[in-house]
């Protein structure tokens, strides 16, 4: 994770605008705006700022009261743009100027889904890697060729500027920021209350036509998933999995991919990486131990797969959590 300074303030401000995307806005409120006494006195503060509209109605017609206008951004340490009213909708100059001033003061800017168009309008994304909903990637590339768009990820963390893919990926990005700020235990606690995974792997789930297995498949494949998770330290063969599932190898491959969107080998790699991240976050095991426990064999192989999947080395990933937990 990027080695960046802490935000200048614990205040998280979510922008609200006429035509507000309620799901994305709700993600910001749920993660940063709820009282969490179990987190102690240093949890985030939260406010809602109007993006400049006199009246704010959501896409469902709900009217929203806010804490103030763009002046609130002057106190923010983190600013969230929860979508935008349209990829072709102009972004007010007053808003882009306020975001640039906030960025210059050290505030972090975070966009969910189409909110990236607001950040792009500020000029602050020039030369940066970003992502957005898969429906918007071509339009974003045409309009802002100066950006490096990463289409197959849930979010991109560029340090002071963070962008997420489609709506639900905003949850992943917000949890990532909690993890970056407060450590893995805090992120896991928030994820448990949300009843979501603390960290998801892979690309944008919208590309998977059948992301949830049908009930009759769940009963047959559920035992298989458990077996695979318990076997991460060793090589598991396709014939072994087919025998356990009571299917031919060809049938298993077809049904497994229909249920998960990937092959058994790719699914198992994701589980190995997830376990490796957890061990790195805990900080006690060395690289060779983690590689053996997670089925990578050697630390070299672990580094190869970790960097390819996550864009950082295991050492850098662990250092990020060491910095958070032991400043």
Domains of the chain by residue range: 11-194, 208-262, 266-325
CATH class of this structure's domain 11-194: alpha beta
- Average pLDDT per 10 consecutive residues for the chain, totaling 327 residues: 72 97 96 92 95 92 94 97 94 97 97 97 94 93 93 87 92 92 86 77 40 47 87 94 92 86 90 90 88 95 90 81 46
pLDDT given at position 7: 86
pLDDT given at position 8: 86
pLDDT given at position 194: 86
This prediction has a pTM of 0.68
pLDDT given at position 219: 55
pLDDT given at position 318: 82
Among 107, 90, 202, CA closest to 162: 107
Provide the strand spans (E) within 68-213: 78-82, 108-112, 129-130, 148-149, 155-157, 161-164
Q: Do domains 11-194 and 266-325 have the same CATH topology?
A: no
Among 148, 168, 157, CA closest to 208: 168
CATH superfamily ID and name for 266-325: Homeodomain-like (1.10.10.60)
Q: Are 209 and 241 in contact (CB under 8 A)?
A: no
pLDDT given at position 209: 33
């Amino acid at each position: 994770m990027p080695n960046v300074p802490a935000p200048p303030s614990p205040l998280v401000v979510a922008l609200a605008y006429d035509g507000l995307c309620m799901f994305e806005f709700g993600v910001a409120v749920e993660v940063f705006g709820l009282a969490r006494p179990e987190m102690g006195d240093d949890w985030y503060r939260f406010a809602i700022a109007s993006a400049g509209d006199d009246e704010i109605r959501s896409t469902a017609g709900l009217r929203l009261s806010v804490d103030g206008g763009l002046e609130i951004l002057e106190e923010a340490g983190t600013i969230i743009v929860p979508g935008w009213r349209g990829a072709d909708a102009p972004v007010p100059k007053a808003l882009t100027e306020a975001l640039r001033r906030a960025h210059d003061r050290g505030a972090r800017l975070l966009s969910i889904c189409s909110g990236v168009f607001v950040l792009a309008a500020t000029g602050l994304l020039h030369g940066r890697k970003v992502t957005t909903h898969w429906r918007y990637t071509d339009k974003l590339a045409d309009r802002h060729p100066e950006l490096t768009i990463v289409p197959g990820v849930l979010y991109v963390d560029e340090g002071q500027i963070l962008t997420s893919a489609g709506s639900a990926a905003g949850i992943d990005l917000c949890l990532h920021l909690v993890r970056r700020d407060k450590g893995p235990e805090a992120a896991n606690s928030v994820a448990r209350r949300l009843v979501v995974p603390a960290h998801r792997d892979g690309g944008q789930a919208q590309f998977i036509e059948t992301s949830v297995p049908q009930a009759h498949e769940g009963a047959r494949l559920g035992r298989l998933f458990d077996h695979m998770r318990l076997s991460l330290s060793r090589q598991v063969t396709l014939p072994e999995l087919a025998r356990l599932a009571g299917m031919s190898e060809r049938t298993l491959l077809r049904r497994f991919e229909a249920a998960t969107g990937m092959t058994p080998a790719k699914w198992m790699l994701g589980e190995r990486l997830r376990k490796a991240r957890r061990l790195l976050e805990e900080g006690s095991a060395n690289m060779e131990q983690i590689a053996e426990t997670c089925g990578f064999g050697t630390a070299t192989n672990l580094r190869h797969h970790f960097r390819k999947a996550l864009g950082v080395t295991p050492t850098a990933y662990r250092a990020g959590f060491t910095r958070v937990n032991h400043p």
